[in-house]
Amino acid sequence: MSSFSMLLPELPSYLRAMGGEEYVGLIVGVFTLNAFFSRFFSGRIADESGRVKVILIGTVVTALAGFSYLFATSLWLFFLIRFFHGISTGFRPTGTTALLSDMVPFNRRGEAMGYLGVAGNSGMALGPVFGSLIRVEFGFDALFITSGVFGVLALILSLFLTETLPKPKPIQLRHINIFKGQLLDLASWPAAVALLPIAFSFGIFLTISPDFVGALGFTYRGAFNTTIVFSSVAARLIAGKASDKYGRIPVLMVGNVLMCIGMAVIGFAESTFVAILGGVIYGLSNGINMPTIFAWAIDFAKPGKTALALGTMLMALEVGIGLGAVVSGFMYGDVLENIPSTYFLGALLGVAGIFSLIAIKKRYPDPS
């Protein structure tokens, strides 16, 4: 997660240096496009050939992509590497979450997802600060090399993971044949629908925040992301366990309310203090929503289809983030005065999320 996240605050500046300021919204959008396509295969491979193999594929891509940015000397090559990099999140989270779900009992599933999120969010917190520091002090090449080195370190650690799938089969060509076998598990559709507005809002945040905090005077732009991630980590320590006890939908209601408030406060911010306050509230919403959504998707999974259900749900994540990135990038148009309206759109998505949960609750039981 550090390898991935340390690049996020600095890539807009890198793109502008190549004369691609009008394509800022595509930095996240192109990445999530391939992450989406990867989900068609990663879940199926994880359920048939093993969780660890899927984890290793995603981690290898992480390492290779980090180093590859060194050779991104043109716009088309930059976006080709971003597209390739998307495979990492199409594979790694699916395998990791399925591996963990195999290890824990049903009544502690939300709690386990919360702890997994703490690890991921810790990487998301440290990465942007470390990345911004390296870029400011040593330049972009040093940043890309560090990202690649972190990917290699993750790969070495991943080699020690123990497979939890009984009798895993070798990966075969049919696993990437979209015309053969099951690609989706639609049983997880309630979790996917609930995730869409959350992901759309996150796409807005990822795209707009680097320029927003730069305009407010942050020298190290990743520091703003870190504040948000730390509050997310704090929420994850209790949110998953709360969803095990009180149910997924009530906890998600709280998360969407906080998302609405947090994005609105950031939109109104004209000082670093108010921006950080809004960021802390928004971070709490992410810390509540994400482990609950992951646990909810696993609740709905059919026997032997855990990774497939997760992959299907995570497609909503990629669609939401991609749309949020493209729409907010278009709304922003590299004009700072347009930034508040993008965050207000994120606040409205919190309201939409609440209504979607109300509709789901009326039509679908909460299996937790």
What pLDDT score does 157 carry?
Answer: 95
Contact 286, 237 (CB under 8 A): no
Q: Distance between CA 42 and CA 270 in Å, rounded? A: 43
Rg (CA), the chain: 19
The closest of 356, 368, 346 to 292, measured between CA atoms, is: 368
Domain boundaries, the chain: 2-162+183-363
- Spell out the residues 6+ positions from residue 99 whose beta carbon is closer than 8 angstroms to its own: 51, 52, 55, 161, 164
Q: How many helices (H) and strands (E) does the chain have?
A: 13, 0
What pLDDT score does 165 carry?
Answer: 87
What pLDDT score does 175 carry?
Answer: 63
**What is Dmax (Cα atoms) for the chain?**
57
Q: Distance between CA 261 and CA 259 in Å, rounded? A: 6
Q: Which two tokens stand for residue 87?
A: 């495979």
The closest of 57, 316, 294, 323 to 176, measured between CA atoms, is: 57
pTM higher than 0.75: no
Q: Distance between CA 236 and CA 116 in Å, rounded? A: 9
pLDDT tens, residue order, the chain (368 aa): 899 889 887 888 888 888 877 777 677 778 878 888 888 788 888 888 889 999 999 999 999 999 999 998 888 899 999 999 989 988 998 899 889 888 888 778 878 888 887 888 788 778 888 888 899 899 999 999 999 999 999 999 999 999 988 888 887 766 666 656 666 667 778 888 899 999 999 888 878 887 787 787 766 666 677 777 788 888 887 888 888 888 889 999 999 999 999 999 999 988 888 888 998 999 999 889 988 888 888 887 777 777 778 778 888 887 888 888 888 888 887 788 888 899 999 899 989 999 989 888 877 655 55
What CATH architecture is 2-162+183-363? Up-down Bundle (1.20)
Contact 287, 239 (CB under 8 A): yes
What pLDDT score does 367 carry?
Answer: 52
